[in-house]
Chain A
Amino acid sequence: MSKEWPLWEVFIRGQHGLSHRHVGSLHAPDAEMAVHHARDVYTRRNEGISIWVVEARHITASAPGEKGPLFEPSNSKVYRHPTFYDIPEDVGHM
């Protein structure tokens, strides 16, 4: 009669003020238990100071086949990087 608990994706914020980062997933009956389980499974060694959980079915992901149209356009836009511009050394740090 048992039914499988839904899958949750777990995001942890590390010690140094960085963004929450995806660390893995787990099964839990509800959000509260998912946070408890995330604490046990993913923070046994001081890995974090904050946990986010979201049910996996609520995540929309881009399709691998769209990789080209989505990401290739930025390849040619090298002028978006500071190294594109030659500034004479005499100008100093910029």
Chain B
Amino acid sequence: MYAQLVKTDADKVKSLEEMDPQERRFQERIDDDQKIEPKDWMPEGYRKTLIRQISQHAHSEIVGQLPEGNWITRAPTLERKAILLAKVQDEAGHGLYLYCAAETLGVSRDALIEQLHSGKAKYSSIFNYPTLTWADIGAIGWLVDGAAIMNQVPLQRCSYGPYSRAMIRICKEESFHQRQGYDIMMKLCQGSAAQKAMAQDALDRWWWPSLMMFGPPDADSVHSAQSMAWKIKQNTNDELRQKFVDQTAPQAAFIGLAIPDPDLKWNEEKGGHDFGEIDWTEFHEVLKGNGPCNAERMEARVKAWEDGAWVRDGLSAYADKAAARVAAE
């Protein structure tokens, strides 16, 4: 999940009886599966939570370009390079759709970007891990985009119209991302022993961070209940994580890769896999900024923003001049 820890400001979910008439009407519309649109009345908590969630999601798309961008110039063939370029371009587009959705809630683009650069806003922990080999690009597409899709598909039904519409567009575009990643892994596994070992090494390093993408376990996830009542979250973190493990385990087996979890096994009774304990200390450290690449990612992001300032200013000055010329005529 690209938004892993979204605070809602609510310590408990209000019942319809506890709400004032306006809020009650709002909740009843949500319960009735009606979409909330930008100009509709909404509780302040709903607005703030959505801004946090959508902007975390947008920031993740933007920062997510960095680990992959690392391999554009190093892709093994021209075709792989073109594909990776298209994928990274999609991530930029997805970030832009999401920023626009957040802006409909009354926050400016510059404010959102400032929150990312100052470290106030979060992005997914997954992008703070390094991409050491070409196989990492395969593992990211297969696992990271796979986990993201698992989270994003239900978000298409989110109660907030602009977010839901952005998700529909993103989901439509993103399924190629996962398939191209699996395709890279498949090719590596059909290659030499060294190539297969490279694929296995990438899976070993990306497996656990991918499971962390779904956020903390339900028992520790205090904000889930309110987000689910507002229908800005449809499934719990653990539900989606379970689904991801069940989907991915056979895919790994198919290409002959071993998932690095000795406790992973099929549980007939529950109709799903059992799997090992996630290292939540690592998760919280990475979120706090202490992951292997947090500093590097933010440095690259801020540098890109600052290096582009003269272009943005130049274009603004040109537009102002042209507008003044028209006004004078």
Interface on A for B, CB 8 Å cutoff?
Answer: 1-5, 7, 24-27, 29-30, 33, 40-41, 44-45, 61, 63-64
Residues of the B chain whose Cβ atoms lie less than 8 Å from the Cβ of A4? 108-110
Distance of A64 Cα from B22 Cα, bound (Å): 14
Chain A residue with minimal CB distance to B41?
Answer: A64
Contact A29 B96 (CB under 8 A): no
Q: Decide if B89 is an interface residue (CB 8 Å cutoff).
A: yes
Contact B96 A26 (CB under 8 A): yes
Q: Decide if B312 is an interface residue (CB 8 Å cutoff).
A: yes
Q: Decide if B173 is an interface residue (CB 8 Å cutoff).
A: yes
Interface residues of B in 274-329 (CB under 8 A from A): 309, 312-313, 315-316, 318-319, 322-323
Interface on B for A, CB 8 Å cutoff?
Answer: 37, 39-41, 86, 89-90, 93, 96-97, 100, 103, 108-110, 165-166, 169, 173, 309, 312-313, 315-316, 318-319, 322-323
- For the complex of A and B, the 4 pairs showing the least CB-CB separation, nearest first, are A30-B319, A29-B319, A29-B315, A25-B100
Distance of A2 Cα from B314 Cα, bound (Å): 10
Residues of the A chain whose Cβ atoms lie less than 8 Å from the Cβ of B318? 29-30
Could you give 6 example pairs across A and B, Cβ below 8 Å? A2-B312, A7-B103, A24-B166, A29-B316, A63-B39, A64-B39
Residues of the B chain whose Cβ atoms lie less than 8 Å from the Cβ of A30? 315, 318-319, 322-323
Contact A44 B93 (CB under 8 A): yes
Task: Tell me how far the C-beta of A79 lies from the nearest C-beta in chain B, rounded to whole angstroms.
Answer: 28
Chain A residue with minimal CB distance to B100?
Answer: A25
Distance of A40 Cα from B110 Cα, bound (Å): 21
| Cβ-defined partner of A27 (8 Å) among B89, B90, B109, B169 | B109
Task: Tell me how far the C-beta of A42 lies from the nearest C-beta in chain B, rounded to whole angstroms.
Answer: 8
| With A30-B322, A44-B89 already in contact, 18 other A-B pairs whose C-beta atoms are closer than 8 Å | A2-B309, A2-B312, A2-B316, A3-B316, A7-B103, A24-B100, A24-B165, A24-B166, A29-B312, A29-B315, A29-B319, A30-B315, A33-B315, A33-B319, A40-B93, A44-B173, A45-B173, A64-B41
Contact B173 A2 (CB under 8 A): no
Task: Tell me how far the C-beta of A85 lies from the nearest C-beta in chain B, rounded to whole angstroms.
Answer: 32
Residues of the A chain whose Cβ atoms lie less than 8 Å from the Cβ of B323? 30
Number of residue pairs spanning A and B whose beta carbons lie under 8 angstroms apart: 54
Contact B313 A64 (CB under 8 A): no
**Interface residues of B: mostly helix, strand, loop or mixed?**
helix
**Interface residues of A: mostly helix, strand, loop or mixed?**
loop
Chain B residue with minimal CB distance to A63?
Answer: B39
Contact B93 A5 (CB under 8 A): no
Chain A residue with minimal CB distance to B97?
Answer: A24
Contact A41 B322 (CB under 8 A): no
Chain A residue with minimal CB distance to B89?
Answer: A44
Distance of A7 Cα from B104 Cα, bound (Å): 11
Contact B100 A26 (CB under 8 A): yes
Distance of A33 Cα from B312 Cα, bound (Å): 11
Residues of the B chain whose Cβ atoms lie less than 8 Å from the Cβ of A40? 89, 93
Residues of the B chain whose Cβ atoms lie less than 8 Å from the Cβ of A33? 315, 319
Would A64 and B100 be within 8 Å (CB), given that A44-B89, A45-B173 are in contact?
Answer: no
Residues of the A chain whose Cβ atoms lie less than 8 Å from the Cβ of B313? 1-2
Contact B39 A61 (CB under 8 A): yes
Task: Tell me how far the C-beta of A24 lies from the nearest C-beta in chain B, rounded to whole angstroms.
Answer: 6
Residues of the A chain whose Cβ atoms lie less than 8 Å from the Cβ of B97? 24, 41
Task: Tell me how far the C-beta of A66 lies from the nearest C-beta in chain B, rounded to whole angstroms.
Answer: 11
Task: Tell me how far the C-beta of B292 lies from the nearest C-beta in chain A, rounded to whole angstroms.
Answer: 32
Chain A residue with minimal CB distance to B36?
Answer: A64
Task: Tell me how far the C-beta of A65 lies from the nearest C-beta in chain B, rounded to whole angstroms.
Answer: 9
Contact A41 B319 (CB under 8 A): no
Residues of the A chain whose Cβ atoms lie less than 8 Å from the Cβ of B165? 24
Distance of A25 Cα from B38 Cα, bound (Å): 14
Contact B37 A64 (CB under 8 A): yes
Residues of the A chain whose Cβ atoms lie less than 8 Å from the Cβ of B37? 64
Contact B319 A44 (CB under 8 A): no
